[in-house]
Chains A and B, each alone.
Chain A
Amino acid sequence: MNKNVIRIVSAMSLFSCMTIGFTSCQKHDENSPGVEFMPDMYRSPSLESNMAYTSLETGEEKQANMLPVKGAIARGYMPYIYGNDTAGYSNAGKYLRNPLGRTEANLKQGEELYGKFCVHCHGATGQGDGLVGGKLPGAPPSYSAGALKTLPEGKIFHSITYGKGLMGPHAPLMTQEERWKVVLFVQKLQNPGGTAPAAEANTVVPAAEGAAVPAEAPAEGKK
């Protein structure tokens, strides 16, 4: 009899040990992707975008997304001479002209870009009724009424570049050419009737007399 009791007790303890053993393996680190075969091929010494890394020189943690070397100019970079101030805004309205023609293709691309970068606040028809626009403290003003109806193209471009009011700068998201295409589409929304916007002046003046030309080259890179 005694032997049997010992046997039962030992079997039960074995069972409980196994249960504990198996259930305790359940919790795993959610931030670990799993087993890596040859991890040095997944995480190589060469830096990938958006990566954090430890500096070999100083040992401190750094971000791989670094600012370009001072004075570096991106490929296709176009300088923008109007500063992010009141004078720049009014001068852009006076002198800045769209280098792109009002072609079907440009308008279509403008509409596409507008759908990606503007529509959620300004709404599909530019009435400021986008889904995000309604959640802002104040909805963006309508393009086709009030002060924005007659806003010149230079000021539209300037506002996209540096932002205006609650709107943030969109220069980092779109190239100058893309911004001009958006301007074309915004002008279409300013005049839903379909009439072309009245040009304020036909002469294209590239630079303004009073425009504040920034001392350091890339004016766009600024926040």
Chain B
Amino acid sequence: MDTILIKPQRRLLAAISFLFLVLTSFNQAFAEADGAKLFKQNCAVCHSLGDNKITGPGLKGVAARVPADPWLFNWIKNNKEVIKSGDAYAKKILAEYNGADMSTFTHLTDDEINALVAFVKNPPVEVKTTTPTDEAKGPKGATEEGVNPLAILIGVIAFLIIIIGVLRGVTHSLKNIQNEKQGLPEEEAVGPWDEIKNWIVTHKTTTAVIILIILGGLLTEGWYALKGIGVYEGYQPVQPIAFSHKIHAGDNAINCQYCHSGVEKSKTAGIPSVNVCMNCHKGISSGPTTGTEEIAKIYEAAGFDPKSGEYTKPQKPIQWIKVHNLQDFVYFSHQQHVKVGKQDCANCHGDVKTMTVAKQVSPLTMGWCIDCHRKTEVPGMKDNPYYESLHKKLAEKYKGLPKEEQVITVAKMGGIDCGRCHY
């Protein structure tokens, strides 16, 4: 009995001591992380732990550079005081950064600043950022090579024709063998073309029906093929930089208008200039799927040197390939559709948030435009003083109609008049 009782007690003791150990080690980890956390919150916006410059200098080997303690403490707390005191080193960096001084951190406690100083002097060994796996890169190169169903059909037909030919040959030779045995003269081979001719002559109606069916099929196919000319639904060109809308607008939930900021102010939504890319990519130099490869192309276009954090190289425009191209004889304004019509981007551009490579999902044909103009109400018109009198007039005009027809659609405002888009 005794031994049975002792065992759990021992285990309990062991468990408690283990827990204690874990807790104390956690505590230590927490004390260390404090400096790291403070650094990320307060300093990392301008300083890196490496030797590259962001806004302020990189802090690698800072302890060896700066004067002896407590200089760094005082500098972090209130660098303006240090500058005022006439400190030589302070003056030197101020001159180096053209008089741009650092923010003051008087709101941090002394303990917090000490933790920061300790962290900056002995930063943790940099954890290597995971390089993108080949798996993630995989589907980029492999384009789908589907087999045309028409080719399969024609292949099958050709195969059948060959089999018929072979079988005909076989029957013919068998018959001749039989004839030879029976002492009959050899039968002359009838060419397949002659046989078909004979068949046509004897089956005139069937032939006519078959010809009509084939002709009808060809005509419809041809009609649809003609209708597809100039319709680029599904167009998905490869862009000079593998920009992914999925990562930006989907995973990171950046609003469409952050980059396409002209959409409410102009005819075109606009392709963002590189400085808009640099608003984030000045700090983010590695992406989740392509690593640094694609983002380096932005730096090259912007003339940005990631090492010094400055724009020192010549700029090169990025030649993006236009996906949605309206013919020159159509006037289309994004401003009117988004600002007044309150149309969501996805109504025409589809679910861009899920697209790795941008794709045209709408046909952009005139029928498609008019279809929407017939169905869509203009919500931005009601509370817009510019359209007040027009809205009143139209509401009066369609008063007598059944309820569902009273909706003032784009078409009712003249939105399907020729001159509205073609002028």
Cα A31 to Cα B271 with chains together (Å): 18
A94 CB-CB contact with B under 8 Å: no
Asked if B189 and A3 make an inter-chain contact with CB atoms under 8 angstroms apart, the answer reads yes
Asked if A22 and B154 make an inter-chain contact with CB atoms under 8 angstroms apart, the answer reads yes
Take A36-B229, A172-B275 as given contacts and tell me if A166 and B104 are in contact as well, using a CB distance cutoff of 8 Å: no
A99 CB-CB contact with B under 8 Å: no
28-46 of chain B: CB within 8 A of chain A? 39-46
Asked if A33 and B232 make an inter-chain contact with CB atoms under 8 angstroms apart, the answer reads yes
Interface string of B143-184 (1 = CB under 8 A from A): 101111011001100110110011001001100000000000
Asked if A141 and B41 make an inter-chain contact with CB atoms under 8 angstroms apart, the answer reads yes
* Closest A residue, CB atoms, query B152: A22
Q: Smallest distance from the beta carbon of A122 to chain B beta carbons, Å? A: 12
B321 CB-CB contact with A under 8 Å: yes
Which chain A residues lie closer than 8 Å to B71 at the CB level?
none
* Closest A residue, CB atoms, query B170: A4
Asked if B235 and A166 make an inter-chain contact with CB atoms under 8 angstroms apart, the answer reads no
Cα A63 to Cα B316 with chains together (Å): 10
A69 CB-CB contact with B under 8 Å: no
Which chain A residues lie closer than 8 Å to B231 at the CB level?
34
- Interface residues of chain B: helix, strand, loop or mixed (majority): loop
Which chain B residues lie closer than 8 Å to A141 at the CB level?
41-42, 45
A203 CB-CB contact with B under 8 Å: no
Q: Smallest distance from the beta carbon of A88 to chain B beta carbons, Å? A: 11
A35 CB-CB contact with B under 8 Å: yes
Which chain B residues lie closer than 8 Å to A44 at the CB level?
328
Asked if A137 and B158 make an inter-chain contact with CB atoms under 8 angstroms apart, the answer reads no
Cα A48 to Cα B282 with chains together (Å): 30
Q: Smallest distance from the beta carbon of B417 to chain A beta carbons, Å? A: 21
Cα A173 to Cα B270 with chains together (Å): 11
Asked if A12 and B273 make an inter-chain contact with CB atoms under 8 angstroms apart, the answer reads no
Which chain B residues lie closer than 8 Å to A27 at the CB level?
145
Take A116-B257, A132-B254, A172-B273 as given contacts and tell me if A138 and B173 are in contact as well, using a CB distance cutoff of 8 Å: no
Asked if B165 and A8 make an inter-chain contact with CB atoms under 8 angstroms apart, the answer reads yes
Asked if A137 and B44 make an inter-chain contact with CB atoms under 8 angstroms apart, the answer reads yes
Q: Smallest distance from the beta carbon of A177 to chain B beta carbons, Å? A: 12
B366 CB-CB contact with A under 8 Å: no
* Closest B residue, CB atoms, query A27: B145
Which chain A residues lie closer than 8 Å to B317 at the CB level?
52, 63, 65
Which chain A residues lie closer than 8 Å to B41 at the CB level?
128, 138-139, 141
- A117 partner, pick from B42, B189, B228, B255, beta carbons under 8 A: B255
- B261 partner, pick from A1, A49, A121, A173, beta carbons under 8 A: A173
Cα A84 to Cα B254 with chains together (Å): 27
Q: Smallest distance from the beta carbon of A221 to chain B beta carbons, Å? A: 11
Cα A115 to Cα B253 with chains together (Å): 10
A146 CB-CB contact with B under 8 Å: yes
Interface string of A7-18 (1 = CB under 8 A from B): 110011011001
Q: Smallest distance from the beta carbon of A115 to chain B beta carbons, Å? A: 7
Q: Smallest distance from the beta carbon of B175 to chain A beta carbons, Å? A: 13
Name the 4 nearest CB pairs between A and B, nearest first. Answer: A138-B44, A168-B279, A22-B151, A4-B169
Q: A34-B235, A50-B322, A117-B255 are in contact. List 20 more A-B contacts (CB 8 A).
A: A11-B161, A22-B151, A22-B154, A31-B321, A34-B230, A36-B229, A41-B327, A50-B271, A116-B257, A119-B255, A132-B280, A135-B252, A136-B283, A136-B284, A165-B55, A167-B279, A170-B279, A172-B261, A174-B261, A223-B311
